[in-house]
Chains A and B, each alone.
Chain A
Amino acid sequence: MQTVEITPEIIQRHNLTSEEYDRIREILGREPNITELGIFSVMWSEHCSYKNSKQVLKLLPKEGSRILVKAGEENAGVVDIGDGWVIAFKIESHNHPSAVEPFQGAATGVGGILRDIFTMGARPIASMNSLRFGKLDSGDVATTKRLLSGVVAGIAHYGNCIGVPTIGGEVYFDESYEGNPLVNAFALGLARREEIVRAKAEGVGNPVFYLGAATGRDGMGGASFASRDLTEESEKDRPAVQVGDPFLEKLLLEAVLELLKSGCVVGIQDMGAAGLTCSTCETASRGSTGIEIDVAKVPQRETGMVPYEIMLSESQERMLVILKKGREAEAKRIFDKWDLHAEAIGRVTGDSLMRVKDNGVLAAEIPARSLADDAPVYAREEKEPAYLRKVRAFDPKSLGDPGDLNAVLLKLLDSPTIASKEWVYRQYDHMVRTNTVVLPGSDASVIRVKGTGKSIAISLDCNSTYCYLDPYEGGKIAVAESARNVACSGAEPLSVTNCLNFGNPYNPEIFWQLKKCVEGMRDACDAFGTPVSGGNVSLYNQSPKGAIDPTPTIGMVGLIEGREPVTSFFKEEGDVILLLGTTREELGGSEFLKTIFNVKAGLPPRLDLGEAGRLVNLLLGLSRAGILKSAHDCAEGGLAVALAESCLLGRRGEIGASVKMPKGALSSEALLFGETQSRVVLSVAEENLKKAQRMIESYPFEVIGRVGGDRLKISLSAGPGDLIDAPLRVLSHAWRNAIGRRMGV
C-alpha cells in the first residue's frame, strides 16, 4: 500500500466533508489509503452519487407501461415502441469541461452519451443537444463567441466522424450563462427488445476485460471537478478535461454491437465519469458480486502511473467488458477485426468487494455496494429566493411604447435565441444514415425506423427565464412545451429524459429552485402520462458572477406510427391558418421584454395542465386524420414570431401569410409577442377546414387568415391599419443571418 498520510487538507482537496470521511472509516473499519480515498471521492461526488439531488429526484414519476428499464437502473432508460422494438435514450451534461476547453469538452460529452447508449446493446441513431451561452451582443462577447464556436465545432467533430446524425436541439443565449455555458448532450439508440443488455458483473470467475484506448492522466477526477463551482482557478483544471477520439469510438461502437450479438458478454459498461472506478464497482454492485482487477495489466500510455491515477483517470473511449468464461477466443477475434486493444485485467469474485491490486500487491479493498449505492444522501436546506419578490412585482405595463411593431418583430427575429440556428446545425451531419425525415428547425426533429412504419420525434426544451421567475411554473412549462412540440410533429409523447442544471445546492435558494422545478416537472409528466426514464444532474453551475438561471432541460420522445410527420412551415398558397388556444395579457418573462427593453422580470405565463393535455390529444387527432398541412407551437416571441417562422422555415422557399386577429381587451404587444401557453398555429387546406373545425370545437380556436404572397401581414379584424406588414425577404434576412453576422462567418 502507498504511504501517503491522509490529512484534513487532503480530505478537503477531495471535496469530502469530515462527516463523509468518518463514514468511510466506518465502512472500511480502518483508515483509507490515498487510493481508496480517491475512489470514494469520485463515487461520492454529486456527478456519480446524486447525494444532494436524490431526495428531489424521487419526486419524478418513473413508472409507465412502456418503460422497460427505469431511471437509475442502468446507463440509460429503455422504452418500448411496439412490435419488438425498443429505444434507449438519455441526456447528460458536459458543462464544466466545455467551459474550460469548449471543443474537447463538448466532443467528449457526445462521446460519453453515445457510449451509454451502445453499451446497452442499442445502435445510436440520433444525437441532439441543448446549448446555452452568454449573450452575443453584450458582456464578454469574445469569450462567448469562442465558447459557441468551440462547442459547436467539438460536437460536429465527434458526431460527424462517428456517423450518428446530430438532428437538432436548442441554442439559447442569456447573460446568466456567461462564462458558464451549458452543454447537454442527448442520444437515442434503437434495438430489438431481446438485444438490451445490462451492465452487470455476474458469474464468479468470469474474466473482466479492459477494451479500447490506453489510460493516461487526462481527465483526472473529472467527476469531482464537475461537482464544484467554476472559479478563476478552473483554467488550471484543464488536465481534468478529456480528449476525444471519435474514430476509436466508431470502432468500439461496431465491435461492441458485434460482441453483444455474439452472446459472449455477461455485462459491459463504459468507463465514463470516474473511469475504471465507477465501471468496476457499479457492475459488481448491480450483479451483487465482487470484482478484482490488477491495475498493472491496464494498458497505459504514460509511464509511472500509480494506482490512484489509473483508477481515477477519465481517458476516453474505454470499456469494461465481463465475458463468459471460455468465450475469450471468440471475443478476441472481434477485437482483432476492429483493431482494438483488449486486456484481461481481472475477474468476478463472490465476496462483494472491489479489490484493486497493483502487480499482485493489494492497493484498495472496498465493499462495492458501499461505493455505488451507499453514498450519503442529504436533505439540503431550502429557502424561497429573495429576488423573486422584486422580479415578480414588475408590471410590463409600466414600460413605455415599444415603437414601430414591424421594427420590434424584426429585432426579435434577429435575436440569437429566436433566430434560425442554421449556422449551428449545418455544421452537424444531420442526415447520415438516411433516417432524418424532419430536418433540424421544426418544432421537433423526426427520424424514421426503416421498414417498421414507425418514426420517433424528439424535442429538447427549457425556457430558463420562466424557471428563474417561477421555478415551479417553469418546470411545468419545459415539459409541456416539449410535449407540444412533439405533438405538433404528429407524435404521441412517450417519455422524458432530463438534465437538471442548477447552481450550488448548498445555497438554500438554489436548492429551492431545484425542488420547485422538479415539482413542476412531476406534475406535468403526470398530466401527460410521460414518465421520466433517465437523465442527469449538473449542480455547481456558477461562476464568480453568480449562478446560472435554473435550467431543467427536458428531452421529450414521441412516436408516430404509420403516418408521415407534420412540419412547422406553411405549404401552399390559399391554405387556411388557424390559431388554437386563447391569448392572454402575458408578457412577463417574454423574449419581447428581454430583447426590446432588456428586462428579465414579471410573472411568466401560467400553464393549465388540463388544457395542455387536451391540446396534445387534439393535435394527435388532427394528424391522424391527415388534415394538418403545418403545425407550429407559439413559444419565444409569441404569435408574431410563430407566424414568421411558419413563413420562413420551408426548405423549398418562403411563403407569406395574411392574418386578421380579434383583439378583445389585449394590448397589441401581448397579442403579437406575448407567450401565452398551449397555443399552436395550424394550416389546413380549404377543403378540410370544416372537418378541422369540427374536430377542434371543444378547444378555443380562431380561423385567422390565409397562406400566400410574399409578405407577413397581421391586422386587427376591427379597426384600421396593420399591426405588422413586412416583406418576407426583410424578415428572412434578419432571421437567417442573426448568428452568422455576429460570429463573423
Chain B
Amino acid sequence: MLTTDDAQAEHYLRLRRRLADGDVADVAATLAELARQVRQADLAMIRRAGLGHIGSDFSVIDILVTLYGAVMSVDPRAPLAADRDRLILSKGHTAGALYAVLAQCGFFAESALETFAGPLSPLNGHPNRTKVPGVETNTGPLGHGFPVAVGVALASRLSGSGHRTFVILGDGELQEGSNWEAAMTAGHHRLSALTAVVDRNMLQQGARTEETKRLEPLADKWISFGWDVRECDGHDHRELLAAFAPAVGDRPVCVIAHTTKGKGVSFMEDRVEWHHKVPSQEQATTAFEELAR
C-alpha cells in the first residue's frame, strides 16, 4: 500500500484553501496549469511503461483536475475519512490520469509514478484500492463503477454523512447494461448527492460511438431515467466548475462533459488509434513541446 506524501499533501491543502477564496478566473487558470502538469506526468509514465491509454487519459484529465482541485472535499492525509467525498473512476483504463492527479494531491509520492505498470508496482494498469490510497473501488471491466457509486450515495444518505459521490463514465462504456440498472436505481431513490460525469469524446476503442452502437439522444436517456442533465465543455474549467455545483432539487445530476480524446496534443486529438497507442520518442518530443506551451 502506498502512503501519503506529507509535504505534497500540505502543498495541496494550502492550494485548496487559496482557491476557495479565489475568483473564478484565478481558479480556472490554476486548474489549467495543474492539468498541463498532469498531462506531462502521464505522458512520461506511458513512455516509460510502454503502455497506457493516453487518448482516454487526456480526455478525462480536466474533469479529474477540476474535481480534485476545486470541488471535492478530500484529505490525502486521511484517505479513508468517513465523510470524504468519493470519486469513482469507472473508466478504469484511465488509471494513469488518476494516478498522476492523486500524486499531485499527495495521496502518495510522485516518484511512485515511475513504477507505473512495472513488475510488482502498486500502480497496475487499472486502479486497485488495496494498494493505492484515494482509489475507492477496483475498476477495469466497464460498467462496474456506477452501481458502486450508487451504493456509496445510498450509504451517505442512510448514515447521514452527507458527503458527495462522483462517478466518471466513458461514453462508450454506457453500452454496458449495468449502467442503466444503476441509473434507474439512483433515479428511483432520488440520490441528489450523486453526480455521474460522462466523458463524451464520441470515440470508443475501435471506432466512433455513434457508428458502433448509437448513444444519442444521450441527454434524453438520462432525463427519462430521472436525472438532472447538465452539458458542458469538458476541457473548460469554468464550465466544469459550474456543472459540478450541488444538485438543485432532488434528482441526481448527470454532467455530459463534451471532450476530445487525446486533448492537448494535436496529432492525437479525436483520433481513434490513440486510445491506447504509445507515442514513439519523436512523437513524445513533439507532444512534450505542445504541452509546454
Is chain B found bound to chain A in the same assembly? no
Binding site for A on B (CB under 8 A): none
Q: A residues within 8 Å of B by Cβ? A: none
